[in-house]
Amino acid sequence: MSKKLEKITHLLYELGTLRKIARSHRQTLLTNDLSDNISSHSYRVTAIGWFLAKLEKADPYKVVMMCLFHDAGETRTGDQNWVNKKYVKTFESEVVKDQLSGIPIAVELLQINSEYEERKSLEAKLAKDADLLDQILLLKEYAWQGNQEASSWLKGNVHIRRLFSKTAKQIAKEIISQKPSDWWYHSGWTSDRRK
């Protein structure tokens, strides 16, 4: 048992380093947003994935687990943008196998990761939709702050066309139509303290 717990603890420390890995689009979006890292990205992707799974009547557990671990391999490969991917080959499935080796209870995670990488099941497609929706949200947030590069990436609905599910496409359109601060104004905020 202690060897298994040792490996799990190693993995947990490794996953913690995702907070330190800046996303590669900082280069192309010409931003220095240090709050955007692989860990923060994975968190919102996971939340999006849960909603997509429920709305599309898919297995929410599988979608959430795919979303939660979809970038775990980037602890060892770093984040690669679309230009990087043209020149740099990474072996993320091999990384995930190495990360989870020696943890017998992690066989399920290997299967889930493999299913996500194949992108054939509804759950895998929804997890990828969640990943793309987080990117659309981020682009909208940056565009709202005046980032012209992010604004140009949103034009033409290129990202929406890459989405699989009807629900994800509808959410993407809603993201684009809203202001990032709309949640604040519709939250029932008041300057008066509750008594």
Domain limits of the chain? 2-182
Domain at 2-182: CATH code: 1.10.3210.10
| pTM of the complete model | 0.91
Instruction: Per-residue pLDDT tens, the chain, 195 aa: give them.
Output: 588 899 999 999 999 999 998 888 888 888 888 888 999 999 999 999 999 999 999 999 999 999 999 999 999 998 888 888 889 899 888 999 999 988 888 999 999 999 999 999 999 999 999 999 999 999 999 999 999 999 998 987 788 899 999 999 999 999 999 999 999 888 877 788 878
Distance CA 129, CA 149 (A): 22
Q: Degrees (nearest 5) of the Cα angle 4, 114, 92?
A: 80
Q: Is 186 helix (H, G, I), strand (E, B) or coil?
A: coil
